[in-house]
Structure 1
Amino acid sequence: MKKLMMILLTLSLVACGASKTVRTAKKTIKGTWNLSNITYDRAGTYNIKLLDDASKTCFEGSDWQFIPNNNTGIYTISDSSCTSGERYFIFTIDEVDAQTGLYDFLLKPTNAKGRSETNEGFRIKLSSLTETSMQWQQTVMVDGSPFTISMNFIKS
């Protein structure tokens, strides 16, 4: 009976743990990244506030640090025409489809102590991740139709 309980406990721990794909993604994302540019899936000028924080112009060139062992991070906006400074967040990477390797990236802004003032977060598609580059895609509705924002990062 003791052996059976140990086997069941071991199986439940293995089943509940992050998949190998997610563990690999967390290892790859660890470190400092620069948000090099932001693009839209259609032409035009749009006044979009990303992550309920700042404009595209403010985010381009921002530096991001990911600390996967406690799922926290900091991004720093340094554009002098914007409200500059450090912003804190917590994140998780959820595997969406093991066959395609696509992920959902969940990001929740917090204060320096890791507490969220609004308890709201953002679901972003982690559409590409390599050792040197990463792309996030977020789809929002604009005038009743889907509009995709792509955020392109380069590892520092």
Structure 2
Amino acid sequence: MKKLLLVSLLAFFAACKTPAPVAATSVDRKSQVAIKGNWTIASVTYAGSDMFKITSFDLADSKCFEGSTWKFISNNDSGEMALTQANCTSFASKIKWYVNKDGQFVLKFLAEGVKAKKMQQGYILNVADQTAESFKLIDNINIGGKMTNIVYQFNKSN
């Protein structure tokens, strides 16, 4: 029982991805323009979701991102997002983002009064299954010593 508790605690603490240094790179304008607009995260899925709690973007439980609203403005790589789910801490932030030539989505949450170019840390996720009405962002994190994909399913909002 003690061993199971210890493994569970280690997995919980290992299930958070910290921000990584984000370097400027060339942008995939076609992918980026396709993401322009208002979106909602329909689901957040990952293997072991019934056993492990994931803190997404060092902000909140991953399930709190379901129903969150995102606005992406492609001509200046800016936008905003808000966590809106009941029973979760509310959070809203301006963001800077872009899709690089490697199909990676680079995201920075902007603190009040801080310019994006001053922030050296951000999150890098992979873009997948992009259509006019939906796309996925996939993060790869370590859960209990095993690399696991967390899939954020975005659907276009009206």
Q: What is the TM-score when the length of structure 2 is the normalising length?
A: 0.75
Q: Which residue of 1 aligns with 2:47?
A: 41
Task: Show the counterpart of 1:105.
Answer: 105
**CA distance in structure 1 between the partners assigned to 2:137 and 2:26 by the alignment:** 24
Which residue in the other structure is 1:134 paired with?
135
In the alignment, the residues of structure 2 paired with residue 82 and residue 132 of structure 1 have an alpha-carbon distance, to the nearest angstrom, of: 27
Is 1:33–1:63's contact at 8 Å kept on the other side of the alignment?
yes
* Match of residue 61 from structure 1: 67
Following the alignment from structure 1 to structure 2, what is the Cα–Cα distance between the partners of residues 110 and 78? 18
Change in 2 beyond 3 A, CA 1:112/1:129: farther
- Counterpart code for 1:107: L
Consecutive unaligned residues of structure 2, counting only runs of 5 or more, are 1-24
Q: Are 2:84 and 1:78 equivalent residues in the alignment? A: yes
Q: What is the match of residue 10 of structure 1?
A: none
128-137 vs 105-114, which moves further: 105-114
Runs of 4+ in 1 over 4 A off after TM superposition: none
Cα distance per residue 1:4-28 (max 9 Å; x no partner): xxxxxxxxxxxx974xxx2211211
Q: For structure 1, which runs of at least 5 residues remain unmatched after alignment?
A: 1-15, 97-102
- 1:154 maps to 155
Q: Distance in 2 between matches of 1:78 and 1:29?
A: 21
Counterpart residue number, 1:145: 146
Deviation at 1:43, TM superposition (A): 5.3
How far has the Cα of 1:139 moved from its partner? Answer: 0.5
Identity of paired residues, percent?
27
SS in structure 2 of the partner of residue 95 of structure 1? coil
Question: For the pair shown, which has the larger CA radius of gyration, 1 or 2?
Answer: 1
State whether residues 88 and 114 of structure 1, in contact with CA within 8 Å, keep that contact through their aligned partners in structure 2.
no
Mapped contact 1:137–1:151 kept (Cα < 8 A): yes
Cα deviation code 1:6-63 (max 9, x no counterpart)? xxxxxxxxxx974xxx221121100000100011034532211101111122110001
- Given that residues 33 and 155 in structure 1 are in contact (C-alpha distance below 8 angstroms), is that contact kept between their aligned partners in structure 2? yes
SS in 1 for 2:94: strand
Question: TM-score when scaled to structure 1?
Answer: 0.76
Q: CA contact under 8 A between 2:78 and 2:95: conserved in structure 1?
A: yes
